[in-house]
Structure 1
Amino acid sequence: MQPENITLNNPLKNRGDLHKLVNELLNAVSPFFKKETSRVDLANFTAHYGQQIANMETFSRLLWGVTPLLAGGYEPEQFSFYIQAIKNGTNPEHADYWGEVEPYDQRIVEMAAYGLLLAVAHEPLLAHFNEQEKHHLWQWLKQSENQAIPDNNWHFFPILVQVGFHQSGMPNNADALEKHFDAMEAYYLGDGWYSDGPGRPRDYYISMGFHFYGLIYAKLMADVDPARCNKLRQRAAQFATDFIHFFADDGSAIPFGRSLTYRFAQAAFWSAAAFAGLEVYSPGVVKGIVLRHLRWWLEQPLFDRDGVISVGYSYPNLIMAEDYNAPGSPYWGLKTMLVLALGEQDDFWQAEELPLPARETHHSIAHASQILVHQPDHLWMLTSGQLELNNFVNTEAKYCKFAYSTRYGFTIERGRFGLNHAAPDSMLLLSEKDNYWRGRRDCQQVTTADGVIFSRWQPWNDVTIDTWLLPLGDWQIRVHSLKTARELDCAEGGFSLTNRPLPHAQMAQAKSLLTTSTDTSAIYCLSPQPRNGEQVLTPPNSNLLFAERAAVPLLKGALNIGTHLLISAVWAGDTQAFDAQTRPQAIISEGVVRLVMGHQEKQLILETHQ
């Protein structure tokens, strides 16, 4: 059922269209405003920080849409509610006071929205505050300066608060800025890339966190901190030349990592780039990325029937949620609406929307251990070496698969017993003959070079697997050198298809091929190790892109104690473009694998990683 209060056919071509969308998104939530208490309560489920803070989070995340409206000269329809809620929430004497923050407190995350509000819209906001109310707001936000927080992108939240203080004329703390910037410098990797804390992943938090906030800082603090602002701009420009490869021509982005329920926050970096005037791509190219991305999301069934954005990815799906996803969490996606703070005459809005620039077919990112592949009508990514140390829900599915796709998404685990529950797509799973399955999680070694990603991983301490991932044309090649001290079953999956309509399956030794009228997904065994083709249907709501059961092509076999070499070729895309006769071949000699496809050839020397 489509929501009546969201215009899903909004063309999203100009500033007025985006203004309309933001108003509709905000107004869909307004029936849930508790005006007698100045709270927002959207649903009965919650996050680990409890319902009261979850309600405060919901309200605060709406400000990522309210703020660019105010900065751009608009006033949201429920402005009086927002003003009163902020007054109440920051007043220690009020029943709705948001409270004193504690170490690692979610409320520190939400303070960033108030920092930006004060920085770019303090005049229309504070015109409604008396001096005591201003002091309450400043005092409540000031708690962020020295409170203990996770050692990751959270350091930017106190920084944005200080930016808001500086821009609005409130007392600010320069030492707090230095402390938090110094902490983040420790995990800068180079070439525009950070990890999200020491040894942490390189996921969308690098774009929608570090660089999004960094570009806001670079725009607003250039007069007082020019050297740092210049450095932040340079890093963002370097990052942009990699990050542009995460977006497909239709506006979709690679689903990968945690916090995917923030949806169109995937493009928040590009809105910040426009806001900061980052000169890396033309305004028309950046405008195209932002607006196509938003248009793609409006085509997805992401709303509940009342127009509230659901928790999930392309559809409502609590199964894929993190333990910090509350009902209002998805409204962090409103960060992408920052371009509304730019006036109508800004280059971004005056530019003609342009398509993505020409990009190489295969793009390797060593700092992230990723290779992006631009296949016609299918953007996919190979990856290794990412692990979320906090062990959030479905960490392996979100970070540790071999490949992620804009067109076919990925499946999440529903259980470890039975392949259909174990999310076998784009994974090599192993079982001790008992139908309990485990795959790649932590990598002991990762190297990305010459268009190949190598990883070493151990599903058990006496089973070691060396895996090489590489694209060859539009094919994905996987080479696994496996040494095991135990008897195992193995199952290796390709990309998953929706099972409506149920794909036609061709399964034989060394082959599993699934075909519909529009899509084909195939996996072939290229090595002598015998493996049989099978098909697995996953439970409903396991694939992030479609709610129906997913059909996964598999190669399945048995492994005796000893050393084995498994080589697979994977393909997925338009059925009309698939040609099995062109698939790669593997020529195996002592310690060397030659992969040949037409005039293309790649040689892997396996012993270099022994």
Structure 2
Amino acid sequence: MTAHLQLLPDDRELSPYTGYTRDHWEAAADGLLRAAWRWATPRGALLDLPGPPSRSGVRSDGLEGYARTFLAAGFRTAGAGGKDPDGMLERYADGLAAGTATPGRDDTESWPLILDHHVQGQPMVESASVALGLRLTRPWLWDRLDAGVQDRAEEWLRGALRHIPAPNNWYFFPYAVAGFLESVGRGDAETARARERAEELLESWYRGQGWYADGDGRAFDHYNGWALHLYPMLDAHLAGDAERLTHHGARLREHLESHALLFGGDGAPIHFGRSLTYRFAAGAAVALGALTGNTPLSAGASRRVISGCLKHFLDRGAVGEDGLLSLGWYGPHASTLQAYSGPASPYWASKAFAALLAPAGHALWTAAEEPAPVETADRVLALPGPGLLIQSTRADGIVRLHNHGSDHVRPHEGEAAAAEDPHYGRLAYSTRTGPTSAANTADNHLAVEMAGVPSVRRRIHPLGAGGGDGWGWAASWHRPVFGKGPEMAPGLRVESVTVARGPYELRVHRVIGAPPGARVTLTGWATGRDDEVASVLEPLFGWSEREEVRAPEGTAYTPWARMPRLAAAAEGTGVYVALAALTGGGVGSGTAEAVSEVRPADAGVEVQWADDGTVTRIGFDPVTVTVEQG
């Protein structure tokens, strides 16, 4: 812990799992704010944090620093009934006045204008945090501003209502702006249209089980919790809108049935999707559920999850010696980032501090901590809508997410529209490993190789998901794409099925239309040399070679990684079966003996498990998975 984050000693009586209380959360927020404000411009309109600029430029990055820290200050102050021990709100008021005085001017303080997302879009993102900060702190900041400053702030914010957002969760940035303007009596037809449009799109993106697509495509990731649920639920809560609280609250409750499973026993959120440098923002939806009563979790389990997530990163170097959140996962890590990531981007982690809207006497803070979902039992949960399969094991606290439906390919893009995206294209992700970089061998990947060039997985087509007591499955197909030479091979298709059972992952692939001279490879989990977790990949059917390969660039978890790999020659149609495991503490150490027999059956395979004789049948044309008890 750095000198900037001076937390109290752990309270193991109230919080036996993490030691964290509400006081720890307030201290974390205060420390992060104090450190960030050391880099403010003289009048506080921009926080120019050190580091390489994003593609949006230094001025936009400075606004990002102001806006995202303001969000943390807003949650912290509102939850404390206006108490502001460091006088932060006066600084934000001064910064607002300076930033909106001459927006668009190239000087020390002026904020950039809000324009269309494809021109200079990032200020639209930040307008939502400015608007929420103002809404949360209205009695102590907005209501005390001069009328001229209020008018200038409104005019700058309305840029978000008059320009085109990106075709995804961005529609909730003008939504948040409109909600604020309406809350201070400045609503009109323009604000109403922004809110109606966002709500209409949200309904069209709903896929069931509490999951939304992030746009018209098939991107399912952490944006569900820290954007698509957070903005409408927080707005309804602040407005006291019972009808919308009921509607969005039911969706949030259902989402938390699965989302709350995506935190490991060590507090880590699942390492999957983009913007992972937002880190403990992953707990925002859990906090919001506890705050509004729309959650399947007890208050003690909710605090266990969100405090575990915050503590996980604070204990592992996410905050540097300068007190700033770094661009990465634990420390700096370039492969975790996107082109829009700038020095202040990690401060979207501020969304986790929505937990502080629950006052000190709220059950979220007064109930004793209870185990997180991963700590109560082994779980396997299939999510047919997003095409995801969650698998967790209590003994080692590891959560694995098998991806058969989320690809972040936009609807108008073709199969080969972009390069491989390690944050979506892999077969599986976990709370203890990260994907290897695009420059190294891909982990958890089935590749078809032609002339030595391995294929990548871009657009993912789900084929179903389901399961029963203690087991589950998910399936998909994709068209292999090649980064060198011909982009595709005609007729080539890969169908993939994952069956999760205890700590084991049965991976079954059918490759159709492999050209002469082709080769197929399958990799497992990427782990470090000294990791406490083990990665195993056992060939069961169709494979002829096995080896260990290295990823010298490492992952977000380790600076150097290795992984098991299987290989075989391929031509025409072939079925390949392997058993994978990512385990800790000896869990699943008998992976090689877990399956007693594999046999072909009706264009598929039958797998018999050694422990109880249960038979799992995987068929194709169409894909089916059935279980016959031993």
Superposition deviation, residue 118 in structure 1:
2.6
Cα deviations across residues 500-557 of structure 1 (Å, max 9, x unaligned)?
A: 4xxxxxxxxxxxxxxx7x4321111111x342221111123x31222x2101111123
Superposition deviation, residue 562 in structure 1:
1.9
**1:285 and 1:354 in contact (8 A); partners too:** yes
Q: 1:583 pairs with 594, 597, 609, which one?
A: 594
Q: 2:523 pairs with 482, 493, 506, which one?
A: 493
Cα deviations across residues 84-111 of structure 1 (Å, max 9, x unaligned)?
A: 1111112237843314321112111111
The residue type paired with residue 586 of structure 1 is V
**Relative to 1, partners in 2 of residues 1:438 and 1:77: Cα closer, same or farther, differing over 3 Å?**
farther
Equivalent runs, 1:411-490 vs 2, <5 Å: 411-414=436-439, 421-423=440-442, 425-434=443-452, 436-450=453-467, 451-459=472-480, 460-462=488-490, 463-483=492-512, 484-490=514-520
1:470 and 1:10 map into 2 onto residues whose CA distance is 44
Partner of 1:185: 203
Q: Is 1:338 aligned to residue 354 of structure 2?
A: yes
Partner of 1:534: 547
SS at match of 1:608: coil
Partner of 1:503: none
Superposition deviation, residue 128 in structure 1:
4.1
The residue type paired with residue 379 of structure 2 is T
Partner of 1:550: 561
**1:245 and 1:363 in contact (8 A); partners too:** no
Cα deviations across residues 266-288 of structure 1 (Å, max 9, x unaligned)?
A: 11111222332325322222111
Partner of 2:239: 221
Partner of 2:14: none
Q: 2:123 pairs with 84, 87, 107, which one?
A: 107
**1:118 and 1:165 in contact (8 A); partners too:** no
1:65 and 1:445 map into 2 onto residues whose CA distance is 38
SS at match of 1:587: strand
Superposition deviation, residue 359 in structure 1:
5.2
1:301 and 1:100 map into 2 onto residues whose CA distance is 35
Partner of 1:6: 5
2:7 and 2:557 map into 1 onto residues whose CA distance is 18
Superposition deviation, residue 36 in structure 1:
5.1
Cα deviations across residues 444-469 of structure 1 (Å, max 9, x unaligned)?
A: 45322332212121213432111111
Which 10-residue stretch deviates more, 62-71 or 480-489? Answer: 480-489
Partner of 1:54: 61
SS at match of 2:163: coil
Equivalent runs, 1:71-220 vs 2, <5 Å: 71=78, 72=80, 73-75=82-84, 76-92=86-102, 95=107, 96-104=109-117, 105-172=121-188, 173-220=191-238
Q: Which runs of 5+ in 2 are unaligned?
A: 11-18, 481-487, 625-630
1:263 and 1:363 map into 2 onto residues whose CA distance is 24
Cα deviations across residues 60-94 of structure 1 (Å, max 9, x unaligned)?
A: 11012110122123314444332211111122378
Partner of 2:272: 256
**1:525 and 1:569 in contact (8 A); partners too:** yes
Q: 1:356 pairs with 357, 372, 381, which one?
A: 372
Superposition deviation, residue 495 in structure 1:
0.9
1:536 and 1:354 map into 2 onto residues whose CA distance is 41
The residue type paired with residue 397 of structure 1 is P
Cα deviations across residues 217-254 of structure 1 (Å, max 9, x unaligned)?
A: 2212234xx43332111111111112111112221111
SS at match of 1:555: strand
**2:275 and 2:336 in contact (8 A); partners too:** no
Q: Percent identity?
A: 22
The residue type paired with residue 607 of structure 1 is D
**2:234 and 2:288 in contact (8 A); partners too:** yes
SS at match of 2:223: helix
**1:22 and 1:65 in contact (8 A); partners too:** yes
Which 10-residue stretch deviates more, 255-264 or 39-48? Answer: 39-48
1:552 and 1:7 map into 2 onto residues whose CA distance is 39
SS at match of 1:438: strand
1:301 and 1:562 map into 2 onto residues whose CA distance is 50
Superposition deviation, residue 196 in structure 1:
0.4
**1:385 and 1:400 in contact (8 A); partners too:** no
Superposition deviation, residue 158 in structure 1:
1.4
Equivalent runs, 1:278-317 vs 2, <5 Å: 278-317=294-333
Compute the TM-score of the two structures, normalised by the length of structure 2: 0.87
